């Protein structure tokens, strides 16, 4: 009998696993040449997420995200390679389509000044698309946790046939118990179908 596959969790590092700044209760650790805030509560959160999902790093850290994962006791995980053959990102604000009336926009998308023009999502959406296709994951349900989730990411997810959950973290907070609860519900729902 074939083992049940876990849903996928595409997980960012900066602003998700490791909040920006130095949030209360975090200790600073030197990882990959950077001072990184480590929230001790994320050990239990990431352990639970690893039980529920196949975690795949989706971050500019690429394979170096495993250095962060190691701090939290995670095994070496796969990562989404960054798509490097992209056309130049538009620089004119009009070309970035930052439109609060976009049906996929949500309150908060524009609070950090990144909005639809997030350079991170500009790279990550094509990278995730290519990774899913190359690894035969197109029908696999997935969640994506990132501080840059925006209308373009939601539009991308709406076009897929797989069940999806996109969660935008507050970059100064990162993972929370509330986010963990949302992910637990999603994992339970997709396993029940």
Examine residue 47 and state whether it is found in any structural domain, yes or no. Answer: yes
Q: State the pLDDT at residue 180.
A: 98
Query: Per-residue confidence at 9, pLDDT binned at 50, 70, 90?
Result: very high
Examine residue 3 and state whether it is found in any structural domain, yes or no. Answer: no
Examine residue 90 and state whether it is found in any structural domain, yes or no. Answer: yes
Instruction: Tell me if 166 sits within 8 A of 154, measured CB to CB.
Output: yes
27-31/54-57 β-pairing: unpaired
Q: State the pLDDT at residue 99.
A: 59
Q: State the pLDDT at residue 119.
A: 66
Distance in angstroms (rounded) separating the CA atoms of residues 166 and 184: 13
Distance in angstroms (rounded) separating the CA atoms of residues 101 and 104: 8
Examine residue 1 and state whether it is found in any structural domain, yes or no. Answer: no
Domain that holds residue 104: 8-192
Examine residue 69 and state whether it is found in any structural domain, yes or no. Answer: yes
What value does the mean pLDDT of the chain take?
Answer: 86
Q: State the pLDDT at residue 105.
A: 66
For 136-168, how does the pLDDT look when each residue is reduced to its tens digit (9 = 90+)? 999 999 999 999 888 888 989 999 989 999 999
Q: State the pLDDT at residue 123.
A: 83
pTM: predicted TM-score of the whole model, two decimal places:
0.88
β-bridge mates for residue 34, sequence order:
31
Q: State the pLDDT at residue 22.
A: 86
Examine residue 119 and state whether it is found in any structural domain, yes or no. Answer: yes
The domain tally of the chain equals 1
Q: State the pLDDT at residue 163.
A: 96
Question: Taking the CB of residue 31, how many other CB atoms lie within 10 A of it?
Answer: 18
Examine residue 84 and state whether it is found in any structural domain, yes or no. Answer: yes
Examine residue 2 and state whether it is found in any structural domain, yes or no. Answer: no
For 82-107, how does the pLDDT look when each residue is reduced to its tens digit (9 = 90+)? 877 766 655 544 444 555 666 666 66
CATH code: domain of residue 43? 3.40.50
Is 50 exceeded by the pLDDT of residue 1? no
Instruction: State which H helix or E strand residue 127 sits in.
Output: helix 119-134
For 36-66, how does the pLDDT look when each residue is reduced to its tens digit (9 = 90+)? 999 999 999 999 999 999 999 999 999 999 9
């Amino acid at each position: 009998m074939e083992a049940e596959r876990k849903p996928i969790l595409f997980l960012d590092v900066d602003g998700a696993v490791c909040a920006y700044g130095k949030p209360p209760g975090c200790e600073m650790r030197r990882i990959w040449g950077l001072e990184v805030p480590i929230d001790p509560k994320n050990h239990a959160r990431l352990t639970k997420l690893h039980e529920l999902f196949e975690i795949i790093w989706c971050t500019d850290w690429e394979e170096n995200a495993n250095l962060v994962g190691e701090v939290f006791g995670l095994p070496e995980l796969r990562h989404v390679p960054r798509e490097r053959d992209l056309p130049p990102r538009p620089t004119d604000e009009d070309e970035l389509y930052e439109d609060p009336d976009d049906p996929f926009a949500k309150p908060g998308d524009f609070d950090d000044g990144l909005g639809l023009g997030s350079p991170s999502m500009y790279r990550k959406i094509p990278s995730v698309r290519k990774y899913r296709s190359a690894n035969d994951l197109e029908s696999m349900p997935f969640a994506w946790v990132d501080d840059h989730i925006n209308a373009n990411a939601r539009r991308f997810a709406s076009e897929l046939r797989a069940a999806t959950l996109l969660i935008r973290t507050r970059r100064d907070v990162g993972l929370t118990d509330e986010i963990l609860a949302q992910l637990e519900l999603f994992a339970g729902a997709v396993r029940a179908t």
